[in-house]
Amino acid sequence: MAVLDALWLPIMGLYCVVLLFFLCIGFNLLYLVVVAATRPPRHEDPGPPTDFPFVTVQLPIYNELYVVERLIRAACELDWPRDRLQIQVLDDSTDETQFVTSRLVREFRSSGLNIEHVRRDDRVGFKAGALDVGLQSAQGEFIAIFDADFIPPGEFLRRTIPYFTYERVGFVQARWGHLNSSYSVLTEVQSVIIDAHFLVDQVARNRGGYFMNFNGTAGVWRREAIGDSGGWQHDTLAEDLDLSYRAQLRGWEAVYLPDLVAYAELPVTVSAYRCQQRRWATGSFACALKLLPTVMRSELSLGVKLQATLHLFGYVSHLCLLLMFLLQPFLLYYSQRIPVVPTGPSVFSLWLIVSTIPAMAPGIYLLYAQARATGRPLQRLPYILGASVLGAGIMITVVGAMTRVLDGRRPAFERTPKYGIARASDSWEGKRYPVGVDSILAIEIMLATFTTATLSYAAMLKNWGSFFYCGYFLIGLFMIIYLSLMQMSATALPRALASSPSGNNEP
């Protein structure tokens, strides 16, 4: 006990730092909601195109057997003059996807479409490398990019290209929609989180004059801006975020169109979702370490620098969440041994603000986004609550990704498998590209056990604030653990049957 008493000051210092970070995040979420709700677009709609510049559409793919045909056909149906359009399928596939792609390219080329199948001998630079190789033979003044799981709407180029009449516009980004949000609880929760990014973050950053990011797909670049900003670089796993920040540092402007929606497939397994979040967290954190020194040395306003810092360090909130979990037993112990918080009305009011803002802000943020996305925020409330606790479930995955960046290990690219899931009746089971259950599940089970013990300790002390805090986020851990175990059972039985001697016998 004497050791714990001696650690009171450093532990409380760490707790105050974490709480201060959450307070900043909470206030900023509320600020972004206000900006998104009140600020008008910074670029007026230029209307239908009066000129038709040459556009190259790049489709980077890698082993996308279930979605590649859907993607190519949608790209070939874009409403743009055929003599001003080039389509590049940047195909790094090592499976049958390459043969499906080759057949489709021949089919559309025979109909007179300018489409090419670009293959490489290696995958150097992964997606960034493929985009860079494609750029070498691209004919377009503007470069549109769509990932394999997207379906670009036919009007996409007619809605985006006119904005490049503004001379300093470097890229135009559209909103992501969801093909399969109703597939499961996991996809519903993901849709809530993505809607918040596209209907609050992106709107507020763009209209508030802050840096926003190109989302890697469903957008168009001015080719000149790519070259002027240093081109595609693959020293991070977030080549899109990296290039968009470098472009804005060079004075290029971004345009975000929340009313133009390109629909995409959400990950349907928890392992695929982990892969996606690990890649995004790794890339975002690596970009923060790479770009923030330049941002801070620039002549940008203090507000722009602050928003860039909060943006690039967004995934640090998961680390703070983990620290807050681990600190709970100590805080409970000290609450009985040491008078941590002075009494008094003014102190109580301050403490109420400090503790309430971080707790309420994410809910308001998600609720507003769902009001914009669906017009039915109250009906979406269960998924909003699910989205708010999912951060706890995924925090070990995110912290592990950040650790890889800090220890200097070159991050490996992890693709998010797509299965062509568009309806509730579709199934991923038995299809290729399975992603095994992550070994990090064991750590999550240990953390859930730790949190359950903390929950019991809080109940014993009748500290209901800590009790509900731990219980709320324990739900997120249980969600991820449960979905992981369900995925394990869904894949283990078919494999066992397939490997058994009688598994191939006819009845």
Question: Which residue in 91, 92, 201, 242 is the catalytic one?
Answer: 92
CA 67 to the chain's CA centroid: 20
Q: What is d(CA 203, CA 208) in angstroms, rounded to the nearest whole number?
A: 8
Q: What is d(CA 283, CA 234) in angstroms, rounded to the nearest whole number?
A: 10
Q: Are 320 and 21 a contacting pair, CB within 8 Å? A: yes
HEC profile of 325-345: HHHHHHHHHHHHHCCCCCCCH
Whole-angstrom CA distances from 97 to 72, 116, 306, 500 are: 12, 15, 44, 29
Whole-angstrom CA distances from 12 to 6, 19, 334 are: 11, 10, 9
Q: Are 55 and 386 a contacting pair, CB within 8 Å? A: no
Q: Are 223 and 138 a contacting pair, CB within 8 Å? A: yes
* 198: DSSP letter: I
Tokens (6 digits) for 431: 């299809």
Return the amino acid letter for 212.
M
What angle separates helix 316-337 from helix 441-461, to the nearest 10 degrees?
30
Question: Which residue in 132, 195, 201, 240 is the catalytic one?
Answer: 240
H or E segment at 238?
none
Alpha helices in 375-422 (DSSP H): 381-406
Whole-angstrom CA distances from 105 to 19, 148, 475 are: 55, 15, 48
Q: Which of 404, 393, 417 is nearest to 485 (CA)?
A: 393
* 164: DSSP letter: G
Rounded (5°) CA angle 395-398-401: 150
Active site residue 147: no
Residues assigned a catalytic role: 92, 240
